[in-house]
A and B are shown apart, each in its own frame.
Chain A
Amino acid sequence: MQDIEKLRFAKSHEWIAPDGTVGITDHAQKEVTDVVFVELPPLGKSAAQDGEVATLESVKAAFPINAPVAGKVSAVNDKVAKNPELINQAPYGDGWLFKLDVADAGSLKSLMTNAQYEEFLKTDAAHP
């Protein structure tokens, strides 16, 4: 389980931990509903900030997952590929998706803190 206060958040509802671990927020998992398939990126894949790197499929729809910052995929969570429901059950824990070798540690500063994300959720921009 991640310490939420140490996470940084993207407007597309992904979080990233200081060590580069990426997942989706609790708000996002509720919006996505029951995840049934996860398409994870191959190891070593380079991603630009906000570039699409993975896909979640729920009963409801398909949802693209973006890299919160630029980096290279250094690990993927095989457990969620086998048990996609982990994303709904533990979005900040066992439901993490992949890990990024962050290209520029300073880029995390462009993201929101938990408090800022909570405020963002109250705006229309958070609910396209």
Chain B
Amino acid sequence: MTELSRVSPKHTPLYNWHKAHGARFIDFGGWEMPVQYTSIVAEHEAVRKTAGLFDISHMGEVFVEGPASLDFLQNLCTNDIATIEDGQAVYSHICNPQGGIIDDIFVYCLKFPSRYLVVVNASTSDKDFEWMKKNSRAGVELRNESDKWSMVAAQGPKAVQAAGNIFKSIPERHRVLETVFEGSPCFICRTGYTGEDGVEVIAPNAVIEKLADAFDLTPCGLGARDTLRLEAGYLLYGNDMDETLTPLEAGVPWAVKFDKGDFIGKDALAAQKNGGLKRKLTAFKLLERGVPRHGFKILCGANVAGLVTSGTFSPTLKTGIAMGYIPVGLSGPFAIECNGRAVPAETTRLPFYSGSKK
């Protein structure tokens, strides 16, 4: 019965490549993705010290084209999309009218102001595309091409060098370059989500295996991707952000530009800013042995102040690190309840660790 009704997981075009490299898989929002090949810690260290390669083909690609593209994106996004010119990228949120985060995205300007590439999260790509269509306007063509494109991220201090062995030129940080690989169009983006320098390359499904081989880097799974992004202080949609939380509460006010004109969620966010935040994403470092995990209680004195949204053992800092939402103004003492034991913790600024990104 359950066998029959089970929805078969989605696979990226690199699925067989992962198997050939000895991957172990987990479900990630309906996608069967590699969690690790050899060891989460070894893959984590490869990215911090040299470079590693991640399959992020499950992420979505939406092309926005037409003369009204910029106006459309300005209304859709919290960040100021008009500040990016041809070949530049910017991080932004998409909010609902209440200011709740629908997704966090990267917008790449291919041709100002009429051609953009929006990279969205895997689990939210269908929801995002519906929201985009609902808020579209004359002079905008939206194409969800998530099924046509694959994406690999080469990350680490040696990642750009590895990319340089494949491509003639590599864009500067937070820039994108349209180029060709094996006769197919592709996009090299000097972006990432690990805290290290590196590139994310978007290429057609048919050539992605060749591209992955061409990089010749340590294959890295989602396990290492999670510990790396958490050390770097990056939030994971669905864990650390959702539609009940705003970018201001999530500690990313720099991605909300109130002075750029109207956008969806602006009034609610402005009201929240003027009224003062009630809760805020707060980062914690454990002072004693323990590994904080998603859903563990954050204690302030004897009271539960909030729950851990993301937590792990930091392979770089060799200590437990966590983030979660707690009321503004609490001064502690803080602890995180790990398997029934209150482990003392101190608040800290993000990132937990600064990598090689510029």
Contacts and interface: CB of A to CB of B under 8 A. Distances in A.
Interface of A: 33-34, 36-37, 55, 57, 59-62, 85, 88
Shortest 6 CB-CB distances between A and B: which pairs? Answer: A34-B41, A36-B313, A59-B40, A57-B291, A34-B39, A34-B40
A55 B293 contact: no
Given A33-B223, A36-B291, A55-B339, A60 B40 contact: yes
Contact of A57 (B42, B227, B313): B313
Nearest to B39: A34
B312 interface: yes
B171 interface: no
B315 A59 contact: yes
Contacts of B313: 36-37, 57, 59
Q: Which of B227, B313, B315 has the most CB of A within 10 A?
A: B313
Interface in B281-296: 289-291, 293
Given A57-B313, A59-B227, A37 B40 contact: no
Contacts, number: 36
Main secondary structure of the interface of A (DSSP, over half): mixed
Interface string B100-132: 000000000000000000000000000000000
A69 B290 CA distance: 28
B35 to A, nearest CB: 8
B96 interface: no
Nearest to B313: A36
Given A33-B223, A34-B41, A55-B339, A61 B36 contact: no
Contacts of B36: 33
Nearest to B40: A59
Contacts of B293: 61-62
Contacts of B339: 55, 62
Contacts of A61: 293
Interface string B23-37: 000000000000010
